[in-house]
Structure 1
Amino acid sequence: MSRKSETQSTPSTPNPCIRHCCLDKDDICLGCYRSLDEILRWSQSTNEQKQSILDVCAQRKSERKGHWS
């Protein structure tokens, strides 16, 4: 199987954007919890990199919820 075929058969990691975009003072989106840099790099990132970004976002979200409870 060619590399191109492997890439086409691997499902893409979905974009976490929920269209509630608002950056905080640290340039973190309050909708999806990605940094501005992560948002800009998303379309060029591999699925592995995207999953890593999503893991960091989940941690940020958890930390934020703790501050606002």
Structure 2
Amino acid sequence: MPESPCVACCRLNSEKMCVGCYRYITEIVDWNRRSDAENYAILQKVAERKAQAKRDEATTAQPTTPITQAEWQAAKAAVRLK
């Protein structure tokens, strides 16, 4: 199983993407239940997002918020409905 990119930051930007690991909340929930192929695909997207964030860092500073319990539950429900 691929290792989670989590860095225990858990702060979401306005797009609901964690600024610590560059995953959307729907990609964070159920990480351990996804297939290796799904997680590797997410890791590829994470690398692209991280590179883009580094390029954008000098020009934009977005406010962040911690993940709320309600957001976590809603994302978990959305993932399980798929």
Question: Shared fold by TM > 0.5?
Answer: yes
Alignment counterpart, residue 53 of structure 2, candidates 52, 56, 64: 64
User: Is 1:53 the equivalent of 2:73?
Assistant: no
Whole-angstrom distance in 1 between the partners of 2:39 and 2:12 = 20
> Superposition RMSD on alpha carbons, in Å?
0.9
Aligned residue-pair number: 58
Higher RCO (CA 8 Å, separation ≥ 6 residues):
2
Q: What amino acid is aligned across from residue 27 of structure 2 in structure 1?
A: E
Higher helix share: 1
Return structure 1 stretches of 4+ with deviation > 4 angstroms. none
Q: What amino acid is aligned across from residue 20 of structure 1 in structure 2?
A: C
Aligned-pair identity (%): 31
Q: What amino acid is aligned across from residue 59 of structure 1 in structure 2?
A: E
- Length-normalised TM-score, structure 2: 0.67
Q: What amino acid is aligned across from residue 11 of structure 2 in structure 1?
A: C
Q: Compare CA radii of gyration and give the structure with the larger one.
A: 1
Q: What amino acid is aligned across from residue 32 of structure 1 in structure 2?
A: C
Q: What amino acid is aligned across from residue 57 of structure 2 in structure 1?
A: W
Deviations 1:29-52 (A, max 9, x none): 000000000001312210111000
- Length-normalised TM-score, structure 1: 0.78
Secondary structure at the residue paired with 1:53?
helix
